Structure formats: structure tokens, C-alpha cells
Structure 1
Amino acid sequence: LQKSWPRRRGSRPYSHLTGPLLSTGRSNTFTINCSGFDRHGVDPTVFQTIFNQKDFRPVINYSIPTQVNISFTLSAILDVDAQLQLLTSFLWLKMIWTNPFISWDPEKCGAFSKLTVTTENLWLPDIFIVESMDVDQTPEGLSAYVTNDGHIVYNKPMRVTSICSLDIFYFPFDQQNCTLTFSSFLYTVENMLLGMEKEVWEIADTSRDIVRTQGEWELLGINKATPKMSVGSSLFDQIMFYVAIRRRPSLYIINLLVPSSFLISIDALSFYLPAESENRAPFKITLLLGYNVFLLMMNKLLPASGTPLISVYFALCLSLMVVSLMETIFITYLLHMATTQPPPMPPWLYSLLFLCTSPGKCCPVALWNENTGPGLMSTHLPGLKEPGQLVGKELGSREAELNGGSGLTSTQLADLWVQFSHMMDTFLFRLYLIFLASSIITVIILWNT
């Protein structure tokens, strides 16, 4: 490569340029003769010879790789598609490299130390993002800063749709780690090396200050790694940035978790309705229908793929409400049987009732109301006597045969079945309380961590 090029023939628009366009300087550099810039502005013909070389990598010795320093500013997180596993973001990419053929003396050129030049006149490094799934839609007519010592600073806006492996199990308290890998698709390490224009913590702080995420995502941090990419026998330099983002869960807590918690809490409070009441089952059916309508309306807020933890929570809530309704129907059946013709009680069930703890602890008062209904005698499970002690007198052989030979009268059997239904009601109510408490604790822990 020669160190100077012949000038174009023909008239020149600036008469003050009488010297050669390029003159040889020290250390194999070139100095542009730009005298008169302060009076007549920049003469484009001075740079024309250099512009004509834009198709070639600007180096004096082709055995020396071009050093390109990059940095970026993440200004927006536009969309995170969990179904397609894509992250759409907006970046301002900054690249700096040196063109050894561009050099001038600012003192002789009207104190101009930096000029703007359209990128169509310059050689540009072919830096791309490996994870990108979209065509680069860089606007046309961009310019770059060219300094008097040949440094070129090029700022390039980019809308990037990149592949990102998303884990939505902890939705809406999820954190995602996506990668943005910058590399060249043409120049190997023998021709181009990548470096950092600024420290990675500066990139993270700047991006965190100006990032705009439409209220759903926030930037946690940015880290980097510098692995080499091997393609066949070619080795390419690259810089990999790890972008950590976190979803803001407030929208989903207000629209999903709070309404669901209200409905499940109301269903738990329905246990305070007497088991003998005819209004409990219709009330639970209404709540169950309302919960299904709620899930249908809020389904668009849930991720379209995968099984997040919140979906498991909704399934447990729905299952608990169904079990509660089935238990209410079963208790209604038991109370009806107890008032008409109580069936014999298995020995293991009687032993379970005998070993049951005090019913007055952590259970609704209505469940243990002594007025158990017309025709039923009030009993208290603790302190139950043995069958022989419960009966004031020996049963007749005919009555004992009707009651399965248990030694209990029909009234006592009915009373035991009522106690069993109350015990089931209390057990399910306590299960509701445990479920609600564990749900609240889990939400608080996930939100804080």
C-alpha cells in the first residue's frame, strides 16, 4: 500500500488548497493538508482519496489486526416473549477504532480537532449480535466523529430481538439472564480484535439510569466475558455481555394474587356457617363459579408457555374449593342420615373420635355449637366414655342388633356421626388456614428475594 495517492485532475472548489492532499509523516502515518479550514470550511476533496479506500480495512500493515473498542447503553427493554423465548431491547452501540490514514494538525486547520463524517464514506467494522433473530435495521445517513489523530467514534442505534432462555417458574417474581454477544462475521482474530471502550460497571450504571421498561422490567446488572468463537479452522474474537433483568411484580400481585386470596379467604370463612344450614353449599358453589370466571379473565396475564408457580397456586386454590364443596355435600348427607337412620360406626372411626383433641381450639364457634339441630343431642368429644359407660342401661338384644352390635342407642350413634362431621369440618378449616399462611409467607419471601 503506497503512502500517498495522486490527486484528482480538474478544477478545485477551494483555491486556497495549493499543496498536496496527503503528505507523508513520521512512523508511516499520513497528514492531511487542511490549511484554510478556518476561513473556507472543510474541503471534501481533501478527504476524498481516503474515502475512496473505504472498501478496505484501514491499516498500513495487514498483518496487524484492527483494534475495535465497543460499549453500549441499554436504553429500553421493549418486550420479553416467554412463548418464543425472545428479548426485544433497544441499544445504543458505540464503536471506536483508528484509521491511520486520517491525521491533521489542528493548529494549521483552524483548531478543528474533530469532524463529523457520514458513515457511507468510512470503513465500518462488521460487528453484529450473535443472538439476534432480526435483520439489522440501522437508519441510513448516520455520521461518525473523526478526530485529528485518526480515531473514529461511531454511535449506532439498534433495536435487537435476541434469543434468551427464559425461566418463568417463579413468575411474577422471576429474574432473567440474557446474553448479548458482539462479534465479527468476517474478520478473524488475525484481522480484528475487540476491546472495551469503558468498564462494564459504567455500562451497567449508565443503562440503569436511563433504561425505560414500560413499568414491567428493571435492569439488575451487566457482566461480561471474553470467550473466543471457533468456526471450523477460523477463530473469531467476541465479547459476551450477561444482562440480568427482573420483572416488577406489582401489576400481577394486584390483579392476580390479591383477588385469588380474597376468594379463597371468603371460602374459608364460609366454615363459620353452621353445617346444618342449607345456605352453605349454594354459597360455596357461587364462590367456585366466581373463581373460574376470575381465572378465565386473568388468563391473558399468565405466560402462554411453561408452568409457573402461580399456576400451581391457582390449581391448589381451585382444588381446595372443590374439596370444600364436596366435604359440605358429604356432611349434609351425614347429618341427614343421622336424623333419620344412623348407620353403624366402624370401630376405627370410633377410636379416632375418642382420641380427637379438644374441639374448641382454632376452629369456628359455629362448628361446635351445642345446638346441633332438632332431634340431636349435644355432646363434647373429649371425655367420651367407653360404649359400656355411655349407656345408662343395657340395650335390648333387638336394638343392639339394629345398631350393629355396638352397644349404642340410635340417639348416641346419631350424636357420634354429628361429631364426626364436625371433626371433618374443623380439619378442612385448619387446612385452609395453613394454606393461606404458607401462601402469604411464600409471596413475601419471593418478593423480597
Structure 2
Amino acid sequence: MNTSSIQNREAKIAGIIREYSKWDVDRDWLFAENRSKSNIFRESFHKINDYLKDEDLALWYLAFSQSFGRKTEVMHRKMADLCTAADLPLITFETDFPRGCPYLERKDMVMKDILAIDFSKQTEEIVEDIKERYRSEKFYHGGKWCRNETFENCPFRNDCPICAWEKLMYDFHFPYRKQKRFFYYDSLCILNNSTISSFGDLFSKLNSQITDPTKRIIVIKTILEGIRGITTKTLLFLQMENIYRNRDLDYSELIFVDLHAIRVAKHVRFPYYEDYDLVTAIKKFCEKYNLTARQTDLALWEMGFLCTDAGCLRDNAKLFVFNWNNVPGSDSDQLIKFLIDECNIYWAEGAEINKIDDNRIIQIRKDENIARITLDEPEGKARLSVNNDKMLDLIVKNETEQLNVYRRCIFYDICTKRKELTGVEEKE
């Protein structure tokens, strides 16, 4: 790809990100009195917050609910139901470990030691100091904190709030993960000690000791990353704190970098990615096109995995897929590529293609799997279904006596859906 083509592609991607950001959300959206559009995140947040009277904890639990790899809306609802059914002292981390717990005093000592660090030092040194004092079981497995073997054999087990937390997760049918019990344990250690009693305390203490917002977010991130059972969703929590709690945090330190994000960047050939790591690539791209790290990160994360080199660069809001008359035939390979790349129907490779029902249905079959594209020419559409489940509608155009089938641009679909879900008015 020559320099001109690269610049043209970069400019198009920047335009897409800017367009996608028009329906971004903020604190005003979360707390708007006129909530004309139903939104599960907003409903779940307010349900939890109304009960806990703690916005930070509401965001913390919603971030945790996303660590199970299940559908977002389902897990938001389940977490809201769990939180509001729990005893308030338990769910707000006010219930302490039982007397006799061998780790009872350690949480006080560790947090005091962390806050006593010389934060004027270089960031790398500070991070090492935090890790040395915290020694999270998530990374070190050194027996400094409670873990599965210790908990199962502990004589104080039945009096420990972890037991009540586990029962809640069981009662509300959360997927079982042993590490999820220690999400509660590690959170309690950070939020119930002689120095810190809430996320508000944690942010306030660090704000008073660290003036550099970039250094401050690295410190907070390092502490929270040691918590077991929540994985990368600590970043999601901090992103939400920035958006909905107006924290002065450097968003460029909150960019998601995991296997999924890297696959996305490679898939859409994100600018600069071949020459830099993903975070540096995003920073440079944002500087060049006057975008924020949040705008670019969110667009890559939420819509990037659906984009293709052709698909995310819209052309009149529709993309040619195949000619109905040429399937089966010369456009068969093009159709199969569309099913695999755009629709994630991976079994379609090598599938048999034929027409049935007087050429009104294209059938793609392999083993027990069947996909059908049903033509509705008067309505100007064709419906794709997989194993009898509707997947999407394609656009059909009769052009010079040829039935051409188009896919509405994925970018167009996602922006429309995002606007519908958030109910946000378009930003200039």
C-alpha cells in the first residue's frame, strides 16, 4: 500500500472513530432525570447505587460482572439482583474477617506501607515498591494472603464473609470460579483497613500525595491489578470512574491491551501498529488526528472486532457481497468469504452451496450445519439465517437486470445500535 493510500485509509478510520464518538456517554447521561431510553447498564447501576449509596462500589460490581465472559446485559442484571439481596454490611465490605483470622492484621499493615512509599521516585520504582509490599497471590502465590487451600482448612471459615459471598454467588447462579471468592477477599483487604474504608478514600489519599495524573493512575492500576478474579476488568472500572465519576486520570494508561484488542488491531490493520506497540500506536494516531485515547480505544474495542479492511471503511452505507445469479457459480467463493469474515460462520469453509425453492433460497450446508439466504425481492432484502436462527438482513438491488446483494455497512449498523442503546443525542 503506497503512502497516499495509507493516509487515505488512516483519515477514513479517524472519521469513523469521530462519528462513533458522537453517541458517547458521560456522567450527565448516567444521572439524567429524563431517561427516555431503557439501558440495562444504567438501570443496574441505579438499582445497586440506590441500595448501597456508593457510586464507586456500584461501578466496581458492574465491572466484576463482566469478568465471567457471559452476555453483558444478563450479567448486569444478575449483579444488580445479587447486590440488592445481600446484607448491606457484607456487600459494602464493612463486615471484617473473624477474630483469629491469620490475615486480619496484614491488610492494615500492607496498606499503610503502600501509602508510605516515596511517590516522588520514578514510576517504575514505585510500581516495584507496591508489588514488593502487596505481593498479590494473583502473581506470586507466596502464601502472604488467604488462598484456596488455606481457606478450605481454616477453622474460622464458617464465620468468614467469604462464605456469605460464595453463597450469594451460588444463590444467584453465577458461573462457578474458585478465584471469584477471592475477588471479594482482596477487595475487602483494600477497602476495609485502618487507612482506607472506600474507593473514595483510596482516590483521595493518592490525590493528596501524587500530583501527576499519569503517575497516579499507574499507582491505582497497580494496586487494583493485584485483585484476583476480576482480570482486565479493573481497567474497565477505572475507565468508568473517569467517565462517570470525573476522576482526573490519564486515559492513555487505561487502554485495553489483551489478545482480543491485538487481534482487532491486526484485523483492521490499525495505523502504525506494525512499527509500535498498540498503546504507542493509539497515542500517535490520536495526536495526528486530534482524537482522544478514549475515543480510539472504545471504537477499536466495541466495533473493531466486526470490522474488516473493506467493511469498516464505508462506501455509501452499503457493501457489495455477491450477485444472486452467480451463486452457485463465480460468486460462491465471495459469499463463503463473507460468511466467514463478516459473520463468523467458520464452518462455511468447504460447504456445499445450492439453490432451492425455485431459486428463492440459497442454501449453504456442511455436516449438520445449514445457513440459508432467503430472497424477498419486493421488499428489497434477503434474510440470512443460520440453523433456523435469523442473523441479519441483506440489501437486494435489481441493477441492470442483475440482482446484487449488499451488506449494510457494519459501521453504520453499530453506530445506529449504539445510538439506540444509549439514547444520547448526537454530539457536534
Higher helix share: 2
> Normalization by structure 1: what TM-score?
0.24
Larger radius of gyration: 1
**Higher relative contact order, structure no. (Cα contacts within 8 Å, ≥ 6 residues apart):** 2
